[in-house]
């Protein structure tokens, strides 16, 4: 068990560019979550996968954001045409089971949009 891994740890990009983040959950975990967190605030839910199916997506999530989990293992989060307001820490978490359980978080990807 190597924990939840996120890559890259830091990303600096210019406004208007596209960025993609990767999350490798704990291997036997079927549930995967993406959250966004700004400094001093709690994480904000973005989207949730059970295996490869994306079952829930925040209504607040712009259509510039898309996430995939093609084989029910790793996941990617893409942001198109980045804006300065997208600057935040993007956290991935995974868990096991049918219901809500213990979330294991990765260390996050810190995105800075210039």
Partner 1 sequence: TQLLEQSPQFLSIQEGENLTVYCNSSSVFSSLQWYRQEPGEGPVLLVTVVTGGEVKKLKRLTFQFGDARKDSSLHITAAQPGDTGLYLCAGAGDTGNQFYFGTGTSLTVIP
Under rule CB under 8 A, residue 74 binds partner 1: no
Q: Of 21, 33, 22, 20, which is closest to residue 74 (Cα–Cα)?
A: 22
* From 13-21, 41-49, 62-70, 74-82, span contacting partner 1 (CB under 8 A): 41-49
Phi, psi of 17 (to 5 degrees): -85, 160
In contact, 107 and 38? CB cutoff 8 Å: no
The H or E element spanning position 48 is strand 44-50
* From 12-20, 42-50, 64-72, 73-81, span contacting partner 1 (CB under 8 A): 42-50
Under rule CB under 8 A, residue 48 binds partner 1: yes
Q: Which residue ranges make up the site for partner 1 (CB under 8 A)?
A: 4, 33, 35, 40-45, 48, 50, 55-56, 60, 91, 93, 99-100, 102-108, 110
């Amino acid at each position: 068990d190597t924990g939840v891994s996120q890559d890259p740890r830091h990303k600096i990009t210019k406004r208007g560019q596209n960025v993609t983040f990767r999350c490798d959950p704990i291997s036997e975990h079927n549930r995967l979550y993406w959250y966004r967190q700004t400094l001093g605030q709690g994480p904000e839910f973005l989207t949730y996968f059970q295996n490869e199916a994306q079952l829930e997506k925040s209504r607040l999530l712009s259509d510039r954001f898309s996430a995939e989990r093609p084989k029910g293992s790793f996941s990617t989060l893409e942001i198109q045409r980045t804006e300065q307001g997208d600057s935040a820490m993007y956290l991935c978490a995974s868990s096991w089971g049918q219901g809500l359980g213990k979330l294991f978080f990765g260390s996050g990807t810190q995105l800075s949009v210039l």
